[in-house]
Amino acid sequence: MNDNLYSSTTKKDDLIVITGAGGFIGGALARYFADKGFTNIRAVDKKPLPLWYQTTPGVENLSMDLTNEENCKVAVRGAKEVYNLAADMGGMGFIERFRIMCLRSILINTHLIEAAYNAGVERYFFSSSACAYNVKLQEDPNCLALKESDAYPAYSERGYGWEKLVSEMFCQEYTAERGMKTAIARFHNVYGPWGTWDGGREKAPAAMCRKVVESKEKNICEMEIWGDGTQARSFMYIDDCVVGIDKIMHCEALNAVPVNLGTSEMISINALADLAMNCGGIKLEKKYLLDAPKGVAGRNSDNTFIKSVLNWEPSMPIAVGLKKTYDWIESQYNDRKAGKAVVKDIA
């Protein structure tokens, strides 16, 4: 990234607010900024603190439901920057079954960005999703990678996708009408350690790893695959994600401009399952559940724009990131067997 594109007057002791910080990406982002030396971080999540995925020493942690307008005002008071990662979401099974819950997340962004503006917040980040893209462009596993303009004409995934697209508009209008600096990143399937790995909200990489670990433990010879396995996706490792959030938030050229944040390495669900088996050193027969939720046929991130602006893109290969994820999930599984609390049990 060119130095003249990076713009931040935020000092190490200025207040940074991260919502959804009890979840996977929010928790990782709080740790990321703490590791960079920021000393005044407020983390907010509706879950009780003992149920947060991870916490970082020295961070102020608040348990509040941000669908409530008054809670949003409290959350952003005194903040210089706000990172909104709060939403009810999960893997495809969750997104397809609980559309109303996903849609209601619009209340969070609606109240939070207004509260942030009134509190004099300098920069506001919104975590959008590739689910905002037109689903008609994703009906073939060999589809073209999605570029930012492909969100329109709008035909988002029902529920979660439409909530993201409308919330993007809120950010853009706060910039256009009120001059507030906003940043919008469309996440493409984030995975890695400290994420949900069991219980129904986990995404494909974590689910595959858990199934392999369970198969080894229980001597199971097959792995269930949702759909026919030809569905294709790109998957972004968590470390790439938090770096990307920082870069996008502080790039003047990306003010109120939605940008893809994902890898451009597309892989089929069948191949992802094979990688997970390789991580565990086991070969399983694939059992296809054709009636299970499977999402769009193909989705990949076109990184032409982000590379042209930032001279950077997420780069962790799926084979490397999945091995890191597998090792962590295996340790979580073993900890649970030993009676210790793990991320799945607190999610």
SS3 state at 185 = strand
Using pLDDT thresholds of 50, 70 and 90, give the confidence band for residue 1.
Answer: very low
pTM metric for this prediction: 0.91
Superfamily for the 3-191+235-261 domain: NAD(P)-binding Rossmann-like Domain (3.40.50.720)
Model pLDDT for residues 229-251, shown as the tens digit of each residue: 999 999 999 999 999 999 999 99
DSSP structure string for 224-289:
EEETTS--EEE-EEHHHHHHHHHHHHTBGGGTT-EEEES-S-EEEHHHHHHHHHHHHT---EEEEE
Using pLDDT thresholds of 50, 70 and 90, give the confidence band for residue 17.
Answer: very high
- Given the residues 160, 174, 191, 333, the one annotated as active site: 160
The percent of residues in the chain predicted with pLDDT above 70, rounded, is: 94
Model pLDDT for residues 170-210, shown as the tens digit of each residue: 999 999 999 999 999 999 999 999 998 988 778 899 999 99
Is the pLDDT reported for residue 347 higher than 50?
Answer: no
Model pLDDT for residues 126-180, shown as the tens digit of each residue: 999 888 888 877 777 777 788 999 888 887 778 788 899 999 999 999 999 999 9
Using pLDDT thresholds of 50, 70 and 90, give the confidence band for residue 294.
Answer: confident
Using the 8-state DSSP alphabet, how is residue 151 labeled? Answer: G
Using pLDDT thresholds of 50, 70 and 90, give the confidence band for residue 5.
Answer: low
Instruction: Report the pLDDT value the prediction gives residue 341, as an integer from 0 to 100.
Output: 82
Of the listed ranges 105-109, 172-176, 293-297, the one predicted with least confidence: 293-297
Domain extent listing, the chain: 3-191+235-261, 204-233+266-295+317-346
DSSP structure string for 83-130:
EE------SHHHHHH-HHHHHTTHHHHHHHHHHHHHTT-SEEEEEEEG
Instruction: Report the pLDDT value the prediction gives residue 125, as an integer from 0 to 100.
Output: 98
pLDDT averaged over every residue in the chain: 91
Using pLDDT thresholds of 50, 70 and 90, give the confidence band for residue 91.
Answer: low
Residues in the chain: 347
Instruction: Report the pLDDT value the prediction gives residue 95, as an integer from 0 to 100.
Output: 64
Pick one of 2.30.30.90, 3.40.50.300, 1.20.1640.10, 3.90.25.10 as the CATH number of 204-233+266-295+317-346.
3.90.25.10
Tell me the mean pLDDT in the region 309-326. Answer: 97
Rounded Cα distance, 23 and 195, in Å? 8
Model pLDDT for residues 21-74, shown as the tens digit of each residue: 999 999 999 999 999 999 999 999 999 999 999 999 999 999 999 999 999 999
133 is catalytic: no
Instruction: Report the pLDDT value the prediction gives residue 73, as an integer from 0 to 100.
Output: 98
Instruction: Report the pLDDT value the prediction gives residue 4, as an integer from 0 to 100.
Output: 47
Q: Which two three-digit tokens encode residue 51?
A: 């149920």
Instruction: Report the pLDDT value the prediction gives residue 299, as an integer from 0 to 100.
Output: 86
